[in-house]
Amino acid sequence: MWDTLAKTGCWRGEVWNRRKTGEEYLELLSIQAIRNNDGETVGYLGVFGDLSSAKREEELELARQAAEDAMRMKTQFLANMSHEIRTPLTAIIGFAETMTDSRQTLAERAHAVDTIIRNGRHLQSLLNDVLDFSKIRAKRIELEYLRTSLPELLAAAVDSARAQTEEKQLEFGVHFMPPLPLHIRTDPTRARQIIFNLLSNAIKFTDIGAVRLIVSFIPEQELLAISVQDTGCGIEDEHIEALFEPFAQADRSTTRRFGGTGLGLSISKELAEQLGGEIQVSSAVGMGSVFTVTLATGPIDTADLVWDLHEFNQSSGVRPVRTVRAPTLFGNVLLADDNRANQDLIALYLRRCGLQVEIAKNGQEAVEKAQQADFDLVLMDMRMPIMGGLDATELLRLTGFDKPIVALSANVERSDIEAALAVGCDTYLPKPIHLDAFYQMLMHYLPQGEHAHHAVKINSLQLENDPELAQLQRQFHAELPQRLARMRAAYIAADWDELRSQAHQIKGVGTNFGMPELTRLAGAMEFQVLRGDISEVADLIEDMAHLWQQ
Q: Confirm if 203 and 214 have CB atoms less than 8 A apart.
A: no
Map residue 318 onto helix, strand or coil: coil
Alpha carbon distances (Å) from 100 to 94, 105, 284, 396: 11, 12, 50, 74
Q: Confirm if 379 and 360 have CB atoms less than 8 A apart.
A: no
Span 491-536, pLDDT tens digits:
888 888 888 888 877 776 665 565 667 777 777 787 778 777 777 7
Helix and strand numbers, DSSP H then E, in the chain: 18, 19
The pTM of the full predicted model, rounded to 2 decimals, is 0.46
DSSP string over 426-483: SEEEESSPPHHHHHHHHHHHS-EEEEEEEEEETTB--GGG-HHHHHHHHHHHHHHHHH
Span 6-57, pLDDT tens digits:
777 788 888 888 878 888 877 778 888 887 777 787 787 777 776 666 667 7
Q: What is the pLDDT of residue 80?
A: 63
Give me the domains of the chain, ranges plus CATH numbers.
2-50 (3.30.450.20), 75-137 (1.10.287.130), 146-316 (3.30.565.10), 323-460 (3.40.50.2300), 468-549 (1.20.120.160)
**In 3D, which of 82, 84, 80, 61 has the Cα closest to residue 72?**
80
Q: Report the distance separating Cα 127 and Cα 234, nearest Å.
A: 28
Map residue 297 onto helix, strand or coil: coil
Q: How confident is the model at residue 86 (pLDDT cuts 50, 70, 90)?
A: confident
Please tell me which residue, 289 or 379, carries the higher pLDDT value. 379
Q: What is the pLDDT of residue 254?
A: 46
- Residue 411, number of CB atoms within 10 A of its CB: 21
Residues 6+ apart with CB under 8 A from 372: none
**In 3D, which of 95, 295, 40, 327 has the Cα closest to residue 181?**
295
The arithmetic mean of pLDDT across residues 342-357, rounded, is 85
Kind of pairing between the strands at 24-35 and 41-50: antiparallel
